[in-house]
């Protein structure tokens, strides 16, 4: 019971941090192997001399919006962030994040998770996943010292999140060192904090997945957990170097299932772009921090705002 409650609590507090993880689980292994061959130390050396990050300045006749990509889990060597990034934030009137994880209603989010992510009336996980996935989950629980029975009441999408959280923690990744939470901690009383979405909306994306999509999410997660440490370092290196093309490739290559990726990223980008446009029609300087996957690619926020004829400039704060 303690393990089940603990994992639900971790999901509730950090569901926003896991979106980027889940949409890249299908690609993590290839990049992890690449990182292992190249050597993490070599990658860190390369990035130290090219700290470009993901940052754009979008302007209208009346307002300025900074778009900043985030990695939701990180290691201490990501910091300090470039002074130009910190300075832009310091003079902004508004900080906008996907979800303010420091202001989540604990009782409401727990209720939503239990309602949408757990079985009732004697139903259980084993009745909804294949033997192959069940065997892989047995192996995961044995390796990480987690009682399998504690997951039987969870639906596959919630088990996928839970296994990812455990694997990230074991890999030494810190959910409290993400770029979005960094700026939430730095926000001054005079700065307004806005949210692009709600925790309930984000959970609904997972809970509305079809049974087949949930099975694929869980199977994909279990295949990649052993490589998450190398994958996370590769992602952080690409982020620091501002390699948006590489990040986009990590998101798109061999994603399982593709239809779920569209709902999880591309469909949400449209709503985010509309919110950013509202800021551009106002008169405040805003600092918008979202997962890096939402900024890159032909359907990312940068391209969507350019298509609306706003002036969009790439900022290289590490210079």
- Note whether residue 105 is domain-resident: yes
The answer to whether residue 6 scores a pLDDT higher than 80 is: no
Confidence of residue 63 (pLDDT cuts 50, 70, 90): very high
Q: pTM (2 decimals)?
A: 0.83
183 inside domain: yes
Concatenate the DSSP letters of all residues of the chain into one string.
-HHHHHHHHHHHHHHHHHHHHHHTTTTHHHHHHHHHHH-HHHHHHHHHT----SEEEEE-SS-EEEEEEE-SSB-GGG-SPPHHHHHHHHT-SEEEESS-GGG--HHHHHHHHHHHHB--TT--GGGSS-HHHHHHHHHHHHHHT--GGGGTTB-HHHHHHHHHHHHHHHTT-BGGG-HHHHHHHH--TTSEEEESS-HHHHHHHHHTS-HHHHHHHHHHHHHHGGGHHHHHHHHHHHHHTT-HHHHHHHHHTT-SSHHHHIIIIIHHHHHHHHHHHHHHTSS-EEEEEEEGGGTSSTTSHHHHHHHTT-EEEE--TT-
Mean pLDDT of 61-69: 97
Q: What is the pLDDT of residue 4?
A: 46
Tell me which of 73-82, 113-122, 169-178, 267-276 is least confident.
169-178
- Region 26-32 average pLDDT: 32
Strand partners, 288: 67, 96
Q: Which pLDDT belongs to residue 48?
A: 43
Q: Which two tokens stand for residue 11?
A: 């999901």
Of all residues in the chain, what percent carry a pLDDT higher than 70? Answer: 81
Contact status, residue 227 vs residue 28, Cβ threshold 8 Å: yes
Domain that holds residue 174: 2-314
Tally of domains within the chain: 1
C-beta neighbour count of 152 within 10 angstroms: 16
22 and 257 Cβ atoms separated by less than 8 Å: no
CA dihedral sign of residues 296, 301, 304, 307: negative
Does 187 map to a domain?
yes
CA geometry: angle 8, 180, 155, nearest 5 deg: 25
What are the tens digits of pLDDT across the range 194-226? 999 988 888 888 899 999 999 998 998 898 888
Quick one: pLDDT band at residue 319, thresholds 50, 70, 90? low
* Cα-based torsion angle of the residue sequence 130, 132, 12, 108 in order, rounded to the nearest 10 degrees: 10
Go through the chain and tell me how many residues it has.
Answer: 319
Q: What pLDDT was estimated at residue 281? A: 97
Q: Is residue 182 part of a domain?
A: yes
Facing residues of 67 across strands? 56, 288
How many whole angstroms separate alpha carbon 287 and alpha carbon 165? Answer: 28
pLDDT tier for residue 260 given thresholds of 50, 70 and 90: confident
Task: Say if 16 falls within a structural domain.
Answer: yes
Is 162 in contact with 218 (CB distance < 8 Å)? no
Domain assignment of residue 319, yes or no = no
Is residue 69 a part of any domain in this protein? yes
Three-state SS string across 196-244, please? Answer: CCCHHHHHHHHHCCCHHHHHHHHHHHHHHHHHHHHHHHHHHHHHHCCCH
Answer yes or no: is pLDDT of 20 > 70. Answer: no
Residues facing 70 on adjacent strands: 291
Residue 306 lies in a domain: yes
Whether 36 shows a pLDDT value over 50: the answer reads no
């Amino acid at each position: 019971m303690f393990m089940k409650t603990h994992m639900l609590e971790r999901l509730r507090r950090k569901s926003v941090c896991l979106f980027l993880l889940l949409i890249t689980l299908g690609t993590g292994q290839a990049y992890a192997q690449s990182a292992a061959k190249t050597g993490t130390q070599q990658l860190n050396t390369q990035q130290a001399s090219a700290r470009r990050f993901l940052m754009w300045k979008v302007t209208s006749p009346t307002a300025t919006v900074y778009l900043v990509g985030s990695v939701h889990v990180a290691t201490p060597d990501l910091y300090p962030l470039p002074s130009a990034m910190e300075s832009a934030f310091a003079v902004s009137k508004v900080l906008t994040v996907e979800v303010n994880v420091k202001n989540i209603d604990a009782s409401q989010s727990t209720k939503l998770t239990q309602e949408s992510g757990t079985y009732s009336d004697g139903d259980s996980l084993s009745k909804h996943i294949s033997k192959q996935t069940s065997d892989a989950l047995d192996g995961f629980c044995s390796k990480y010292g987690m009682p399998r029975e504690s997951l039987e009441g969870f639906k596959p999408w919630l088990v996928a999140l839970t296994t990812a959280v455990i694997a990230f923690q074991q890999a030494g990744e810190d959910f409290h060192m993400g770029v979005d939470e960094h700026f939430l901690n730095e926000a001054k009383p005079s700065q307004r904090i806005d949210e692009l979405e709600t925790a309930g909306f984000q959970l609904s994306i997972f809970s509305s997945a079809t049974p087949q999509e949930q099975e694929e999410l869980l199977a994909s997660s279990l295949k990649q957990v052993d490589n998450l440490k190398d994958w996370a370092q590769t992602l952080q290196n690409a982020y620091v170097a501002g390699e948006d093309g590489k990040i986009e490739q990590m998101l798109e290559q061999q994603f399982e299932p593709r239809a779920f990726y569209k709902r999880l990223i591309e469909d949400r980008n449209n709503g985010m772009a509309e919110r950013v446009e509202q800021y551009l029609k106002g008169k405040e300087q805003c600092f918008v921090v979202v997962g890096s996957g939402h900024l890159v690619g032909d359907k990312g926020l940068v391209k969507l705002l350019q298509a609306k004829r706003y002036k969009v400039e790439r900022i290289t704060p590490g210079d």
